[in-house]
Amino acid sequence: MSKQSKTEQPSAKEALRLNWRAAKIWWELMPKVLIYKAWGAFFEASAPYLSLWFSAQLLGEVAGARRMDRMILLAVLAALSGAVFMGAAAVFRRLYNAEDMMDSTSFWFLLARKMQSMDFARLDDPKTKELYDRIVQVDNFASWGLRRTLGDIENGLPIVFRILGGVILSVTLFTQRVPEGSALAWLNSPLMGLGFGAALLAAALLAPLFFSKAEAYFARYSDMGTASNRFFSFFGYIAFKERSRALDIRTYAQDGFFGPQYLSNNTFDESSQIARWCRGPIGLDIAAGTAVTRSITGIAYVYVCLKAWAGAFGVGQIAQYVGAITSLAGGVSELLRSLAILRTNTVYLRTVFEFLDLTNDMYQGSLTTEKRSDREYDVEFRHVSFRYPGSGNWALKDVNLKFKVGERLAVVGPNGSGKTTMIKLLCRMYDPTEGEILLNGINIRKYDYDQYLAIFSVVFQDFQLLSQPLGENVAGAMEYDRKRARNALETAGLAGRLESLPQGLDTYLYRDFDTSGVEVSGGEAQKIAIARALYKDAPFIVLDEPTAALDPIAEAEVYAGFDTLIEDRTAIYISHRLSSCKFCDRIAVFENGSIVQSGTHDGLLAEAGGTYERLWEAQAQYYT
Ligand code: ADP
């Protein structure tokens, strides 16, 4: 975490560095858009100058030599060039608008890819979530952050071309001299030019000060609105979008939270602070900024007309110079205003980069796990203790455990005794705080992470299926072996259900992407998850409460088919139903993060007064 406070004013150097980095990200994400934008800006900014220049020539001709052929030529060229430039600008605008729609997709994918690549422990860290929430919040609130940079580029490019064009068309205003001997010859003095330039610059600098003062109110408000925004995001759409919450929300009328809480936060309505600011200081600042901007034209007229009157140039050029100078000064004002926005946005870019720069601290080894057809892998927990990041309590304490190849190990114990945590460590979602886990005698940290993970098929308690076709869910891929998928589903006990599905393996689960998708029950979902684990065909299969959502008949079926299900895999099997553990070769009993007993069902029952006996008795009364 950076030590910098979230809202500390960035230095110009930091602003430059972060905005440049943001621009580079967009250049990598969508280079074509930036190229189109640059060309679009060039044509759009140049077109008015072209017509200004041609009008000046025309006016000069009308007031001077009055050659008809030249006037016609100028008029035709003015019309033609205007049409070509504006047309080209429109073409590029269309091109980038078509691509621009991808900006939010690219942005969210960028964040998603970062999340996906994070260590599990990092992902789980509340600080990570806080950063992510802040990025989402300011993006929703006023599009601050990375996406603002894209807007800044779009606004900034025309400003640059506008300033360049203005300079080119107004240079001769200073070089063309009033004839010597004229009463106004003092206008030729360089001091006069400088004085005029200074007055213009002062006005051009003053205007953006007013505008950025107004802008700053919004930035301040985005911090003040954090709570309301979270609240609004949650109750405005998240809560209602999540299928799993729908029942709760209805049963407990949780939508009632929304109105009063939201109103009491008072962030977005007309009595809110921002609304009051808009009616007060923000409005005044914007009015003052606009008035100063307008005064620039007045100053330009005085200087230009005086020089023209004294004979420095013809009447035609009055329009050119006044137009060019007004546009140039406006460009400078806008540039400054944009720079102020850039600076404000730097604060939000800090959050974005802090998130993107989160490091993975988990050591990743490079040893291969060698694909063994004999599945001869043995795993050992050696004095493993573990605390969740940020937690003071030991979730596991000095766990020693060895899985023999082909063994079926049951893990039982009261809620919160550490069973799932043990699985999470086994799958290296976290590294042990103390002790080590060994695969074939070597610390698992030394293996290539992906290869290590490939050894395990896990059905977590809170597994999730995708709203994709059944077969793709089972295979975890869009291209897959249909026969194998069907076999896995049959082994998991879904043969009958598969028959009944109109499109078999191609039937969509849920209706998010296909209106003819099927809703599956909790039990069916669990079987699909088991089938997915079987399809993966890893040497270890880990089932966390595999039958929790099944009815007793389905449960009995799963146990009856357990041998076919497991085959020669090493199975680790977490269960609350002790009757199901009888199938297992060995049972490890967890309590308070430690293994307190280990043995076979009969052996453990014989240990009078043990945890296993206690758990068994508690359940047996319902079954006998
Ligand atoms: P079991 O699977 O036996 O029900 P768990 O392994 O889920 O138990 O939990 C063991 C202990 O670790 C519990 O005290 C639980 O509160 C704690 N715990 C589980 N997950 C987390 C987490 N993500 N952060 C902090 N503590 C956790």
Query: Could you read off the pLDDT of 394-436 as tens digits, one per residue?
Result: 999 999 999 878 888 999 998 899 999 999 999 999 999 999 9
| pLDDT band at residue 46 using 50, 70 and 90 as cut-offs | very high
CA–centroid distance, residue 593 to ligand 1 (Å): 9
Residue 469 near residue 507 (C-beta atoms within 8 A): yes
CA–centroid distance, residue 329 to ligand 1 (Å): 64
CA–centroid distance, residue 233 to ligand 1 (Å): 28
pLDDT at 1 (0 to 100) = 39
Residue 130 CB coordination number (10 Å) = 13
| pLDDT band at residue 137 using 50, 70 and 90 as cut-offs | confident
**Residue with CA nearest ligand 1 atom 19:** 421
CA distance 144 to 242: 27
Relative to the CA of 574, which ligand 1 atom is closest? 2
* Of residues 421 and 215, more confidently modeled: 421
CA of residue 280 relative to chain centroid, distance = 35
Per-residue model confidence as pLDDT tens digits over 557-600: 767 777 777 778 888 988 877 877 777 889 999 999 999 999 99
Residues framing ligand 1 (Cβ under 6 A): 124, 388, 391, 395, 413, 415-421
Q: Is the pLDDT confidence value at 221 over 50?
A: yes
Per-residue model confidence as pLDDT tens digits over 334-345: 898 888 889 889
| pLDDT band at residue 35 using 50, 70 and 90 as cut-offs | very high
What single-letter DSSP state applies at residue 445?
G
How open is the CA angle 337-317-161, to the nearest 5 degrees? 30
| pLDDT band at residue 153 using 50, 70 and 90 as cut-offs | very high
For residue 21 the two structure tokens come to 């980095």
pLDDT at 348 (0 to 100) = 94
Q: Is the pLDDT confidence value at 471 over 90?
A: yes
Relative to the CA of 390, which ligand 1 atom is closest? 25
CA–centroid distance, residue 417 to ligand 1 (Å): 7
Q: Which helix (H) or strand (E) holds 591?
A: strand 586-591
Q: Is the pLDDT confidence value at 2 over 50?
A: no
For residue 316 the two structure tokens come to 């035609």
| pLDDT band at residue 271 using 50, 70 and 90 as cut-offs | confident
pLDDT at 374 (0 to 100) = 67
Residue 336 near residue 208 (C-beta atoms within 8 A): yes
Q: Is the pLDDT confidence value at 4 over 60?
A: no
For residue 363, report the phi and psi dihedrals to the nearest 5 degrees: -70, 130
pTM (two decimals): 0.73
Q: Is the pLDDT confidence value at 114 over 50?
A: yes
CA–centroid distance, residue 416 to ligand 1 (Å): 5
CA–centroid distance, residue 538 to ligand 1 (Å): 26
% of the chain residues with pLDDT over 70: 92
Q: Is the pLDDT confidence value at 167 over 80?
A: yes
CA–centroid distance, residue 591 to ligand 1 (Å): 12
CA distance 496 to 150: 54
Q: Is the pLDDT confidence value at 158 over 80?
A: yes
Relative to the CA of 416, which ligand 1 atom is closest? 8
Relative to the CA of 461, which ligand 1 atom is closest? 2
| Type of residue found at 209 | L
Residue 149: which of 196, 110, 188 has the closest Cα?
Answer: 110
**Residue with CA nearest ligand 1 atom 21:** 388
Residue where the block lists tokens 């802040």:
134
Residue 349: which of 151, 209, 211 has the closest Cα?
Answer: 151
Q: What is the mean pLDDT of the chain?
A: 87
Residue 474 CB coordination number (10 Å) = 29
Q: Where are the alpha helices (DSSP H) in 101-233?
A: 102-117, 120-124, 126-142, 146-175, 190-224, 226-233
Residue 394 CB coordination number (10 Å) = 18
Residue 272 CB coordination number (10 Å) = 17
